[in-house]
Amino acid sequence: MNKRTAQVAILTVTLTLMAPAIGGGATPHPDPTIDPVMVTSGFLSGHPDLRFRLLALQKRSEGKQTAAFEFFMRAAYYGDKPSAGMVAEMLWDGTGTPQDRAQAYAWMDLAAERGYEGFLDLRERYWAKLDEADRERAIVVGQDIYARYGDAAALPRIARALRFEKRRMTGSRTGFTGNLRIVVPAPGGGTEEIDGSKFYDERYWDPVQYQQWHDAIWRKPRVARVDIGEVRQLPQPDLNTRIPQVDPIPDDPGQELPPTDEMPLLNGNPIRP
């Protein structure tokens, strides 16, 4: 696969989640990050995976590639597979980070961990371009990446974040009940009210339903097929990873990036938590 073709494909996949629906089959629940009322109401405070991906895309659009790479890493730490795919792409090209194609493969393998078709395809195209030495190293470094960023480690993190923020905002372990109205800062100034049933939709806060929502969007994403040079047809990718299963590494604050309160911009202004 031509390098530019891969770039177009992965970027199209990544931006798909910014649209409210995916064509074909049942329509997934809309992405709350496209609703400015939802994101200004503190929604992103409880969804660090989405917050850091939006920050990464913002930094990338501003030409701040190193910062974009770091924010994609943060999002992947909370199980965001599109961000893992972008970490892979940036490692493959040496954008915002030194080029390392063995690590790039391992990260794309991680992006494909849940069987998302677009990332499986790109994983196999990466593998086809690696020499034997890089393939061997990819398997080795991939084990450490999976131990820290694989679903066995990452899904409990995002589950804790979802539950903590929902309890904090509702003041109850039982979650939202009743005719709750939430007053939030409006995108153009002033305030607006939203129905609590929208904000606290279980698909956004229950860890199992939250992952099912992601799966509905990413299982068969719209990946652009752009012809730039010769593209060799590859076999249907195997769903299985080449990287041996490893135990997750317990969270070690000393090994992670420093915390940040930075929020994405909305209409040029920072989103308030």
| DSSP character at residue 226 | -
State residue 83's pLDDT score. Answer: 94
Length of the chain: 273
**Average pLDDT in the chain:** 76
Residue 95 has pLDDT above 60, yes or no: yes
Amino acid at 248: P
Q: Cα separation of 195 and 210, whole Å?
A: 19
| DSSP character at residue 97 | S
3-class secondary-structure state, position 269: strand
Say how far residue 88 (Cα) sits from the centre of its chain: 12
Residue 232 has pLDDT above 50, yes or no: no
Phi-psi region for residue 178, left (φ > 0), alpha (ψ -120 to 50) or beta? left
Residue pLDDT, tens place only, 109-149: 999 999 998 899 999 999 999 999 999 999 999 999 999 99
| Of the candidates 75, 63, 96, 101, the residue with the CA atom closest to the CA atom of residue 14 | 75
State residue 96's pLDDT score. Answer: 97
Residue 242 has pLDDT above 70, yes or no: yes
87 in Cβ contact with 59 (< 8 Å):
no
* Residues 143, 145, 146, 148, CA torsion sign: positive
Residue 214 has pLDDT above 60, yes or no: yes
* Residues 110, 66, 267, 51, CA torsion sign: positive
Domain boundaries, the chain: 3-15+29-223
* 161-175, 233-247, 259-273 — most confident range: 233-247
The pTM of this model reads: 0.78
In this structure, of 89-93, 151-155, 168-172, 256-260, the range with the lowest mean pLDDT score is 168-172
* Mean pLDDT of all residues in 55-64: 92
The band of 12, judged by pLDDT with boundaries at 50, 70 and 90, is: very low
Residue pLDDT, tens place only, 175-193: 444 556 655 544 444 555 6
